[in-house]
Amino acid sequence: MSGLPDRSTPLSQTAFEQNYGSAYICTVIGVCLYGISVLQSYTYFMKYPGDSIFMKLLVSSLVILEAVFTTLSCVDVYHFLVLSYTKPELLIDGEWSLYTSAVLGAIVCFLVQAFFVHMIHQLAKGTLRMILTGVLVPLILVQLAFGFFFTTRQFQLWFPMQMSALFVNSTMVPMLVFRIVPDTIISVSLCSILLDSRTEVKKTTKLVNTLIVYAINRFVLTTVVVFVQMVVVLAIPQNKGFMAMDFVTVHLKFNSLLATLNARNHLRRMHDPATTNGGMTNVAAQLKTGSVVQFAVRSQLQSAGSFSSGTQELSEDGIVRIEKETYVDKGQSSDANTGKTAGNLV
**Domains in the chain, number:** 2
pLDDT at 3: 53
pLDDT of 67 higher than 60: yes
The DSSP secondary-structure symbol of 299 reads P
| CB contact at 8 A, 105 and 179 | no
CATH code at position 90: 1.20.1070
Question: Would residue 276 count as lying in a domain?
Answer: no
Q: How far is CA 226 from the centre of its chain?
A: 12
pLDDT of 335 higher than 60: no
pLDDT of 311 higher than 50: no
**Mean pLDDT score, 282-306:** 35
181 and 309 in a single domain? The answer is: no
Confidence category of residue 43, pLDDT binned at 50, 70, 90: very high
**What span, in angstroms and rounded, lies between the C-alpha atoms of 238 and 235?**
9
224 and 302 in a single domain? The answer is: no
Confidence category of residue 181, pLDDT binned at 50, 70, 90: very high
pLDDT at 309: 41
257 and 317 in a single domain? The answer is: no
258 and 298 in a single domain? The answer is: no
| CB contact at 8 A, 256 and 186 | no
191 and 97 in a single domain? The answer is: yes
**Mean pLDDT score, 36-64:** 93
pLDDT at 285: 35
Least confident of 1-5, 22-26, 160-164, 175-179: 1-5
157 and 293 in a single domain? The answer is: no
Which string of DSSP letters, residue by residue, matches 101-120?
HHHHHHHHHHHHHHHHHHHH
HSE of 147, CA atoms in CB hemisphere, 13 A: 22
171 and 64 in a single domain? The answer is: yes
pLDDT of 296 higher than 80: no
| CB contact at 8 A, 241 and 23 | yes
38 and 90 in a single domain? The answer is: yes
Least confident of 77-86, 111-120, 132-141: 77-86
Q: What is the 3-state secondary structure (H, E, C) of 229-298?
A: HHHHHHHCCCCHHHHHHHHHHHHHHHHHHHHHHHCHHHHHHHHCCCCECCECCCCCCEEECCCCEEECCC
In Å, what is the CA distance from 79 to each residue of 72, 246, 251, 256, 276? 10, 18, 22, 30, 49
- Determine the longest span between alpha carbons in the chain, in angstroms: 87
Question: Would residue 39 count as lying in a domain?
Answer: yes
What is the enclosing helix (H) or strand (E) of 166?
Answer: helix 165-196
Question: Would residue 124 count as lying in a domain?
Answer: yes
| CB contact at 8 A, 180 and 223 | yes
The residue among 166 and 305 whose pLDDT is bigger is 166
256 and 319 in a single domain? The answer is: no
pLDDT at 238: 73
What is the enclosing helix (H) or strand (E) of 37?
Answer: helix 22-47
Neighbours of 148 (CB within 10 A): 14
Question: Would residue 280 count as lying in a domain?
Answer: no
307 and 206 in a single domain? The answer is: no
The residue among 97 and 239 whose pLDDT is bigger is 97
Q: Among the three residues 211, 238, 268, which one is the final residue of a domain in this structure? A: 268
Q: Which domain holds residue 339?
A: 285-345
321 and 216 in a single domain? The answer is: no
238 and 91 in a single domain? The answer is: yes
Across 59-73, 164-178, 226-240, the highest mean pLDDT is recorded for: 59-73
User: Rounded mean pLDDT of the chain?
Assistant: 75
